[in-house]
Amino acid sequence: MRRSRWVTLAALGLLHVLNASAEEAPDYASETLSGSWGGLREEAYRRGITLEAVLKLDWLRTGGGVQAGQDTASNLDLKLMADLDALYGWGGATAYLHVLDNRGGKPNARLAGSLMGLSNIETTDATAKIFQAWLQTNYFDDRLSVLVGLYPIDSEFSVLDSAGLFLHPSFGASADLALTRGPSIFNTSAFGTRLKWLSADRALYAQGAWLDGIPGDPANPYGTHIRFDKGDGSFWIAEFGYTPEEVDHVSAPVSPQNGGPQEPAAVADEKYETFAKYALGFWRYTSKVDDLVNVDAVGNPLQRRSLGWYALAEKTVYRSSANPAANLSLFARYSATDGDSTEIRSALNLGARFRGLIAGRDDDIAGLGYTRAYLGNKYRQTQQLAGIDTRPAEEAIELTYRLQWSKWLALQPLWQRVRCPGGDASQPDVSFIGMRLEITL
């Protein structure tokens, strides 16, 4: 479906607001830069439509790597979620539209040459596109949900919520999966379906997704494209998890509130956030790709189906008795692929985040993260044949502090150190300093 048609449908949905709900609306006047639009945003929320716009601006500077210099990147998120029960009486149904606009330079590609990247908003091309456009329906007291549409797997699968603080891309989609032939992750998603089941107390869950194997149009990275070309195949992923802190709590699969205004009850709950999640996942492509090294009897690359798995855990391990808003959370994730067709064989993420580290600043968050991408033996063989000496892994460490300057403005200085960027033994380690500016519009 063309982008203009999606925008038209979204506009019609916004205008055709019928039944008001009793929910208390967020305080848009104080929590956003543009305010309440004369009360329009609150009224839309009460009637079942949530609107959000968030702008992120990154600045990164290095004194080494491929070359010394500085660069910038920008990311604009425009989100609309519609409660179709409140709007049209369609019980348990939700529609979601998420448009991305990414601009700026390429700090990693131009300055560092890292396999894993430096900023999670850097893209190869400056473009606007529909990132998510889906319809979800819930059944059996919201314990079963079915979602169909444009859907990125990194919104729900292999997610470490406590790691969302960091700018390094590997704390989102794992580096080994991100470098496969085309997973449905930022900034291009694929069309497909996702099913999710919750136990009666919401602590246990099982979810699976089936999507087109090649998101968008690789030959045309600009704009939104939904194609089902011969040879795309499909991508399958499944995850099983335990979230003890979610007992009797129902949440949407993708919250448009992340980084934006929230209803008062959610604000109060977020102030005393607790992370507790343990999950195991598996994924697989159905179509085959060339093996990096092995060939058949006539010298053609053997064909392989890429597959992998991951395990993760995150836990709030400390809360201050003097100030319950102050807490320390730890996270860990290990993921691996078959190693036959991609640069990275496996990846490790470790980290800690401390909220309320400074007295009187309960909304500030400090974080220290470490990631290691292990290069596959076959990839190292191809590099050796090309005359490039490699190391077993690329490593990165990030130290950052998110300063919540106001309800709608956050400043986040950071320092990153990348060891052996690109796995190339001849490349020196790289240190970056930077700043992220996040504005809720």
Closest CA to 156 of 194, 201, 121, 211: 194
Closest CA to 432 of 420, 416, 418: 416
Q: Is 1 contained in some domain?
A: no
DSSP at 140: T
State residue 7's pLDDT score.
39
Cite the DSSP H helix spans in 196-328.
264-271
Distance CA 240, CA 233 (A): 24
State residue 332's pLDDT score.
98
Q: Is 128 contained in some domain?
A: yes
Distance CA 85, CA 143 (A): 17
Full-model pTM = 0.89
Distance CA 188, CA 227 (A): 12
Distance CA 315, CA 327 (A): 11
Distance CA 149, CA 132 (A): 8
Q: Is 22 contained in some domain?
A: no
Contact 100, 76 (CB under 8 A): yes
Distance CA 250, CA 52 (A): 21
Task: Copy the structure tokens of residue 358.
Answer: 């400074």
DSSP, collapsed to helix, strand or coil, labels residue 5 as helix
Q: Is 233 contained in some domain?
A: yes
Please give the C-alpha separations between residue 153 and each of 99, 138, 297, 300, 434, in angstroms, as whole numbers.
Answer: 16, 19, 38, 33, 28
Task: Copy the structure tokens of residue 430.
Answer: 């790289």
Q: Is 107 contained in some domain?
A: yes
Q: Token match 């949905």: residue?
A: 13
State residue 256's pLDDT score.
39
The domain in which residue 103 lies consists of: 8-14+27-440
Domain at 168, CATH number: 2.40.160.180
Distance CA 297, CA 421 (A): 36
State residue 268's pLDDT score.
53
**Interior CA angle at 151 toward 292 and 176, to 5°?**
25
Distance CA 429, CA 396 (A): 10
Distance CA 114, CA 259 (A): 28
State residue 108's pLDDT score.
87
Contact 207, 242 (CB under 8 A): no
Q: Is 21 contained in some domain?
A: no
- Taking residue 364's Cβ as centre, other Cβ atoms within 10 Å add up to 19
Task: Copy the structure tokens of residue 26.
Answer: 């967020």
Closest CA to 98 of 220, 235, 257, 218: 257
**155: Cα separation from own chain's centroid:** 5
Q: Is 335 contained in some domain?
A: yes
Residues for the chain: how many in total? 441
State residue 16's pLDDT score.
44
Q: Is 52 contained in some domain?
A: yes
pLDDT (tens, 9 = 90+) of the chain, 441 residues, equals 444 344 334 444 444 433 434 467 888 999 999 999 989 999 999 999 999 999 999 999 987 667 788 999 999 999 999 999 999 999 899 999 999 999 988 888 888 889 999 999 999 899 999 999 999 999 999 999 999 999 999 999 999 999 999 999 999 999 999 999 879 999 999 999 999 999 999 999 999 999 999 998 888 989 888 888 888 999 999 999 999 987 755 554 544 345 566 665 555 555 568 899 999 999 999 999 998 888 888 889 989 999 999 999 999 999 988 888 899 999 999 999 998 888 999 999 999 999 999 988 999 999 999 999 999 999 999 998 888 899 999 999 999 999 999 999 999 999 999 999 988 888 888 899 999 999 999
State residue 111's pLDDT score.
85
State residue 148's pLDDT score.
97
- Taking residue 203's Cβ as centre, other Cβ atoms within 10 Å add up to 17
Q: Tally the domains of the chain.
A: 1
State residue 82's pLDDT score.
95
**Residue 383 carries which side chain, given as an amino acid letter?**
Q
Please give the C-alpha separations between residue 18 and each of 21, 38, 114, 134, 275, in angstroms, as whole numbers.
Answer: 10, 19, 51, 21, 37
Distance CA 415, CA 389 (A): 27
